[in-house]
Structure 1
Amino acid sequence: MTDPAHALSARPWLALQATLGVQLLATLALSAAPVLAPAVAPQLGLPPERVGLFTGTAYLFAMVSGLVTGNWVSRLGATRLTQLVMVAVGSGALAASFGPAVLLLAGAALMGIGYGTVNPAAAAILGRHAPPGSPGLFFALKQSGVPIGVALSGLLVPIGLVTLGWRGTVWAIAAACLLAAALLLPVVARLDPEARDSSGSASTWLRTLQAVLRHPGLRRLSIVSFAYAMAQQGFLTFSVSLLTLQLGLPLAVAAALLAASQVACTVVRIVLGHVGDRWISPQVLLGVLGLCMAASCLALSALPPGPALPLAALAMVAAGATTMGWNGVYFSHLLRIVPRSELAASAGGAQFFTFAGGMAGPFLLAQLLHMGMSYSTGYVVLAALGAAAGVAMLRPLPAPPGVRLNTTTDRP
């Protein structure tokens, strides 16, 4: 039987372009902070490791906004909401560019609210428009916006520092986000259905979270994503500082290695998304990725001071591909355990745990550094978490009961 969502003017490539572009820009904006930190933090009178507080604050607000995105999608439409994502991220970048700690944290909060809305809104858009035979591939392509955004940040932000200064670089990023919001104006009518549901209640976020916790498959996926996101954000936030401040590599070299890791990650995400659609269970792929993630974090932690460039490149590429290569497979597995009509709510609920891990990872590493431990020690801790989560994901799980996540109404 044909899915009614697909029978109604499905536009898969337009949907992919819109969601991929927004994911790319939102990621570029948020990942600029750790690239800027070694050069900018001293100018603001802050230690570079305090970038973890900025990233952690952003993910704290992303956790909350993701929980209510299902309701926002019902009221506003997913594409209209995606426009507001770009406005929030651009406004947050502008606020952070003025420098004092209170504005840095306010900017992080605005960027986090926008970033937390990206995935649930995209899930609603792609759930309606992606081809039924390859939804995992389309989600993987959309998720490739994360490593591409990080790679562009690693390549363009150092250039911006030299040519525009750090504030000019941040203003350019903000302008790109606001321009994207304007370009989405004619897309809204083509991707969003005309009907809107305004029946959502203020307690929707709580019912969404409860539904995720009652669903065995979603509960395990959410907890595993917590550990994986800790490793992902720990890698993104502190790898440049590890290479420059502990191992003595130039900032430009470290940023280029981060960019190279994102190229590898992009390929891994797309390939594994297709593999999860066609041949190997996404559950198995997620488990194996956790074990590979642990090995790569250990390799990164073992790099000696002044490492040979090929050795550092190999460790960074492996860590980037594994700590950031799991997201497309994650959505492929999510698609197998919830109906498409519930993707926005389920993605927002599970994302609460994912972003909690994204918040906890930088905070944990920042505190370990504050206690006098090394960056290497932090990556050993992340390796242990990744290994434990990978093993948990590989364990068989009984088929979950039918738990509905569409919590915008109390009606069945």
Structure 2
Amino acid sequence: MTADVPAAGVGRPPGGLPLTLAAVTGVQALATLAVLALATVAPTAADSFTVGAEMVGYQVSLIYVSAALMSAIAGPLVRRWGPGAASIFALAMSCVGILGIASGNLAVVVVASLLLGVGYGLTNPSSSSILQRVTPPARRNLVFSLKQTGVPLGGILAGLMLPPLTEAIGWQAAFVVSGGLIVLLLVLLLPLRARWDEEREPQRPLRGTMLSGLALVWRQPELRALSFMGFCFATTQLCLMAFTVTMLVQELHWSLVAAGGLISLVQACGAGGRVIWGMLADRLRFGIPVLILIGLLSAAACLVTAFLGPDWPPAAVVAVLCVFGASSIGWNGVFLADVARLTRREDVGLATGGALFFTFGGVVVGPALYSALYKLIGSYTLTFGAVAVFPLAGALVLLALLRRTRRT
């Protein structure tokens, strides 16, 4: 069942689409900054914890275990609290989490990582509920893709801000500065909350409905296929985001600042990719072929990355990783728009949370699997080559769905 016509004028947030899009994109960006902060400065922060830099993969996976569990129950929570309250709560958890990591205590880091996941798991169900109310169907892929640029924008901010701050004032103080940015956005969002939450259902019971998003996704073959694709693509995306800096520093012998600058450029290419893929999907009026193309490009980029080395010209390394970023970071907006397209308006939050449970599953598996494979292979670049199986599998599942759809 599709939901192509948002209710005109019902609960429209103040400022209409532009302000709403800017606000939810900001939430996505700063939540992502908090999630990626430790991975961005892993070669330096690892010394404080007396562990290897590759262990950050387990920390990232821990965040997304929590995010996956929160995503599975986020739909009913967003309906009950309202998407505005859910967005503000997400920012609060992001702030507490990044400040907890700044403590430098491993036990506190574990708890803080779980809180980061709680906040991150709420961002997409709440923002999808808000955007679906103000987005014309013909612009859905572009608008959702623009919102999803918050993820690479958060990565860009982490890559440009945290390494220089780490060298100037230390990584822990840099994390405190990041927490201050999150608090600032939280305060700015408070006046918007009342309008965002006009359609909330405060008396809605939670018991018996917490996993309804998963059930909704499982009932629809199209949503099941998209969710499997999300698992595969997210695995690749998080490996790129979590290990590129460490690969550049330890195997290609780049400086931390130069590696941080390149990961920011990679994230920028991901942001640009999201816009371009969204525009292409709107032009085709169908996102599945675009997602298949993204999967094939991501698999190819993984395989080329396996051959990177310190003797490669910097421009060639930049070119490879930029293509990698534009593909493996660029898929999310088209994915979320297709989930919304296949779902009734009132169930968008439920379906988004259910589909993202599987996406976060890939995020959990990806960094931890990468860390384990690295221990066996002994090379960051070659481990990226092994990761190519994931985007290829996601593309093949969607290709089978596309063929089945055309036959029917």
Distance, in Å, in 2 between the alignment partners of 1:93 and 1:68 is: 23
d(CA) in 2 for partners of 1:102, 1:138: 40
1:307–1:280 distance in 2 versus 1, CA, 3 Å: farther
Query: Contact 1:74 / 1:198 at 8 angstroms: preserved in 2?
Result: no
From 82, 104, 117, the counterpart of 2:122 = 117
Instruction: Kindly report which structure 2 residues correspond to 1:21-60, keeping only aligned pairs within 5 A, or say none.
Output: 21-60=26-65
2:307 matches 1:302: yes
2-structure distance, mates of 1:298, 1:34: 23
Cross-structure match for 1:384? 389
Correspondent of 1:84 among 80, 83, 89: 89
Which secondary structure state, in structure 1, belongs to the residue aligned with residue 7 of structure 2? helix
Say if 2:102 is the partner of 1:102: no
- Please say which of residues 95-104 and 230-239 is displaced more in the overlay: 95-104
Deviation at 1:372, TM superposition (A): 4.9
**Could you say which residue in structure 1 is the equivalent of 2:8?**
6
Question: In the alignment, is the contact (CA less than 8 A) between 1:244 and 1:251 conserved in 2?
Answer: yes
1:343 equivalent in alignment to 2:348: yes
Once superposed, what is the RMSD of the aligned Cα atoms? Answer: 1.8
In the TM superposition, residue 198 of structure 1 has moved relative to its aligned partner by: 2.4
Tell me, which stretches of 5 or more residues in structure 2 are unaligned?
none
Aligned residues of 1:136 and 1:335 also touching (Cα < 8 A): no
Q: Cα offset for 1:306?
A: 3.7
Could you tell me which amino acid in structure 1 is paired with residue 289 of structure 2? V
Matching residue's letter, 2:165: G
Q: For residues 91-170 of structure 1, what are the structure 2 equivalents within 5 Å?
A: 91-170=96-175
Give the letter for the 1:58 counterpart: I
Q: Which amino acid aligns with 1:6?
A: A
Alpha-carbon displacement from aligned partner over 1:249-270 (angstroms, at most 9, x marks no partner)? 2211111111111121111101
Contact 1:15 1:126 in 2 (8 A): yes
Contact 2:81 2:200 in 1 (8 A): no
**2:188 corresponds to which of 183, 194, 202:** 183
Matched with 1:405 is: none
Whether contact under 8 Å (1:66, 1:349) holds in the other structure is yes
1:262 matched to 2:298? The reply is no
- Asked whether the 8 Å contact 2:5–2:136 carries over to 1, the reply is no
Judge conservation of contact 2:11–2:133 (CA < 8 Å) in 1: no
1:117 shift after superposition = 0.6
Report the identity percentage: 31
Kindly report structure 1 stretches of 4+ aligned residues shifted beyond 4 Å: 1-4, 397-400
Paired with 1:202 and 1:175, the residues of 2 have a C-alpha distance of 36
- Residue equivalent to 2:399: 394
Aligned to 1:361: 366
Superposed CA deviations along residues 294-335 of structure 1, whole A, max 9, x for unmatched, are: 001111111122421101101110111111011111122223
Task: Give the residue type in structure 2 aligned to 1:267.
Answer: G
Partner residue of 1:249? 254
Q: Does structure 2 retain, via aligned residues, the 8 Å contact 1:66–1:120?
A: yes
Question: Is the 1:276–1:329 Cα contact (8 Å) retained in structure 2?
Answer: yes
Moved more, 260-269 or 45-54: 260-269
Alpha-carbon separation, structure 2, partners of 1:398 and 1:312: 39
Q: Tell me the amino acid that sits aligned with residue 109 of structure 1.
A: L
The range that moved more, 20-29 or 377-386, is 377-386
- The answer to whether the 8 A contact 2:54-2:371 is kept is yes
